[in-house]
Amino acid sequence: MAPSESDQTPSEERTRRSRRKQGEQARMTEVAERAGVSVMSVSRTIRDPERVSRKIRERVEKAMRETGYIPNALASSLASNRTRVAAVIVPFINASFGDTIHGITDVLEEAGYELLIGQIHHAVEREERLVEAFLSRRVDCLVLTGCTHSETTIERLRNGRIPVVETWNLAEDPIDSVVGFSNYEAGRAMTRYLIGKGRKRIAYLGAPTEGNDRARDRERGYIDAMEEAGLPHDRKVRAYRPLALREGADGCQELLERAPDIDALFAASDTLAVGALFHCVKRGLSIPDDIAVAGFDDADIAAVIHPSLTTVRVPRYEIGRRAAMLLAQRLDGVDGEDDYVQRTVDVGFEIIIRDSA
């Protein structure tokens, strides 16, 4: 039986690697002959396609398809110190984070990068494991959602020396760069809007806050706005539910049973808000006369549901696009003092007023 790689002597290991390299070279020569270019042109097309003319790149790519040649990505990454792979970590893949991923992809694909996606369901420990896995695969850059991470994750990323962008919130001390908006100010602004419409007993329906700084900040904004107005915000008028339509309906029912006198409900997600709105209609309540309902995200359904939903509009696609632009600049070596100032990017938010409030 042939010895395993771990049992081979240094001489045998060098021979094995040499044969692999020779095999790779032979396949590349076949591609070069079919494309009518040099082996160097094939190698350059694989490693750095921007440096090759479009005509040659198309001939080489056609020859690679015809011969079935697949470049050794690991060997190329070791030679160039780049894998041309980026990674993004999201809580889960839904319409909101899907738009952000779309923005990231549009920029990074144009720059020649592939994207790996991981979801963590707000579990800090799972994010820790995913970060370790992505770093072990030598990704060139990483996008995170939110600014709540374990100390281990923060240390690994700061020691990893790759560009990192946190998104969907703002941080005073980001790991590297941050692109987002103030969830605190957004929650405060929507609550103040409802107060300005004469609402006195405003309930809050939010996502669970563990591992979710965006949810915590939106609730803090609600609480501070209520305190500024001298209005009650006791636990009877606050509930927490996973992000699902049924949970929004059940959360609304729970709040109305505990506090039948509430005259407004601020849900920190359009999914929860739409579920709450359905429950109010089913209950025979008039919206917004009996109870106003407001959401957060400006999901597509917000504008088409009846009554249409007042909500906080977040530039979801723009968050991804701006994050990817920062990464592309860093990967291209743009790293002066002026650029560092731009590593905190506030994309803002907007209150969208519709029929429900």
**In this predicted structure, what is the pLDDT of residue 245?**
96
pLDDT digits (tens, 9 = 90+) for 35-59: 999 888 888 888 777 788 989 989 9
Range list of H helices, the chain: 10-35, 39-47, 54-67, 73-80, 95-110, 124-136, 151-160, 183-196, 213-228, 245-258, 270-282, 300-304, 316-331, 337-341
User: How would you classify residue 138: left for phi > 0, otherwise alpha for psi between -120 and 50, otherwise beta?
Assistant: left
- What pLDDT score was predicted for residue 142? 97
> Per CATH, which fold does 183-313 belong to?
Rossmann fold (3.40.50)
Residues of the chain falling short of pLDDT 50: 1-6, 12-24, 78-79, 335-341
5-80 CATH: 1.10.260.40
Evaluate whether 5-80 and 85-181+317-347 have a shared fold: no
pLDDT digits (tens, 9 = 90+) for 296-348: 999 999 999 999 999 999 999 999 999 999 999 888 875 444 444 468 999 99
Spell out the CATH class of 85-181+317-347: alpha beta
pLDDT number for residue 19: 41
Over the chain, what is the mean pLDDT?
88
Record the pTM.
0.78
Alpha carbon 225 to chain centroid, angstroms: 28
Q: Residue 327: what pLDDT?
A: 94
pLDDT of residue 33: 92
pLDDT of residue 9: 56
Q: What is the pLDDT of residue 18?
A: 44
Map out the domains of the chain as residue ranges. Answer: 5-80, 85-181+317-347, 183-313
